[in-house]
Amino acid sequence: MGCNTGIAEDVTELIGNTPMVYLNKIVDGCVARIAVKLETMEPCSSVKDRIALNMIKDAEEKGLITPWEVLVEGTSGNTGIGLAFVAATRGYKLIIVMSSSYSMERRIVMRAFGAELRITDSAKGIIAVFQKVDEIVKSTPNGYSLKQFENPANPKVYGVEPTESAVLSGGKPGKHKIQGIGAGIVPDALDVSILDEVVTISSEEAIETARLLSLKEGLLVEFSSGAAAAAAIRIAKRPEYAGKLVVVVFPSFVGRYLSTVLFDSLRNEVENLAIEYDTHYETTGPEIWNGCKGNDAFISGIGTGGTVYGVEPTESAVLSGGKPGKHKIQGIGAGFVPDALDVSILDEVVTISSDEAIETARLLSLKEGLLVGFSSGAAAAAAIRIAKRPEYAGKLIVVVFPSFVGRYLSTVLFDSLRNEVENLAIEYDVDHNMRL
């Protein structure tokens, strides 16, 4: 049981209460101020974390599902990721159906949480996803679909749609690049009567605005956030909004879009970079102390030395008197003792192998719904090892997970999942197979 002040019992308790920030640098010509709700700060970096938890809790409270049920859901990605991490924490088996057009990062993240993936032909659109969901539910004992597009527990209202697929504006479904919106249908869960206006934004404008948000505002966002910001800027320039406040939601973090067209030029650039050879004291520490009113042990990894670190790779255990060596735990184990590290404050240095760090990181996603990187896996492994010691019975150990996993999806940590999702077969309908 956690402390009664500041420590969540599980990761789903961290959903909500995300911060807001003003846009300042890309709002030239605006007469209204624009404030952004950063849903990118949710535990799984998406507004859909709220929706996923709400739909599952609602179904549980109505007696529609228990962990014996197999949840089946069609998604473009973010709702599936939200459902996958909530399902991991609550013990549900989850089958996700998605179109072949969506990014590999999304597939990897969902599989990391233990979800099963089924892929449909993108040429068949969202209807193929719905049909596959129905097929799986009918053929799966205890199968149950939350039906996010019809579910009243999914209350988010979108007023922005792609120019190329402007169905709310009376147009026809069409192909576009703004992943996360523009499914080509009007969801049953959307009450269109509450929309004062629907703004259409082209894929190119969404992408350009997303790029400007990172360059000018320091906000690393994806397609749908770029589209929302572009719409907000357009409205904020109208004379009737002078002196008013426009609030816009940025629904998800950019990590699951790094393989998309949004980052083509940057990806090509960093893949070809040549190799060039030859605060926590005032913030993190007090936050931890105040959050749990003290603790009995504190554990973190050894990186730059700016924090009190006590974990290092077995293969490069310089603090333990060993020699520098190659290892896989990115973020710690630089092979030297940083000048900024006061080793006198360390009660112990725990060595963790690369394999143990990787395996612990994988278990954290599958069992705890916490998608983390190498160094977090190492820190958790060290915490678990210490927590098993008899002298720590009944005590509290605090461990720092320093970074989100989005920047590690191309590493060895996800090799097996990446190979699996890249080779998932597209599941065609029966008529298609007969024509073949």
Residue 429: predicted pLDDT? 67
Give the mean pLDDT of 339-344: 76
Place 280 in a pLDDT band, splitting at 50, 70 and 90.
low
Question: Is the Cβ–Cβ distance between 161 and 186 less than 8 Å?
Answer: no
Pick the more confident residue, 396 or 136. 136
Query: Residue 84: which H helix or E strand, with range?
Result: helix 78-90
State yes or no: pLDDT of 288 exceeds 80: no
Residue spans of the domains in the chain: they are: 1-278+409-436, 295-407
How does pLDDT run across 158-174, given as a tens digit for each residue? 488 999 999 989 999 99
Q: Which fold has domain 295-407?
A: Rossmann fold (3.40.50)
**What integer is the mean pLDDT of 352-377?**
89
List C-alpha distances in Å: 270 to 25, 116, 276, 424: 26, 32, 13, 27
Q: How far apart are the first and last CA of the chain?
A: 57
In this prediction, residue 294 carries a pLDDT of 60
pLDDT at 96: 92
Task: Check residues 230 and 375 and name the one with the higher pLDDT.
Answer: 230
What DSSP letter does each residue of 168-190 carry, written as one string? Answer: TTT------S-TTS--SS--TT-
Query: For 402-413, how does the pLDDT look when each residue is reduced to its tens digit (9 = 90+)?
Result: 777 777 788 888
CATH architecture classification, 1-278+409-436: 3-Layer(aba) Sandwich (3.40)
User: Which pLDDT score, from 0 to 100, does residue 60 have?
Assistant: 93
Say if 1-278+409-436 and 295-407 have the same CATH topology: yes
Average pLDDT over residues 120-140: 87
Provide the pLDDT for residue 293: 62
Mean pLDDT value across the chain: 82
Convert the pLDDT of each residue in 50-85 to its tens digit: 989 999 999 999 999 988 889 999 887 788 889 998
The DSSP bridge partners found for residue 71 are 94, 144
Active site residues: 48, 224
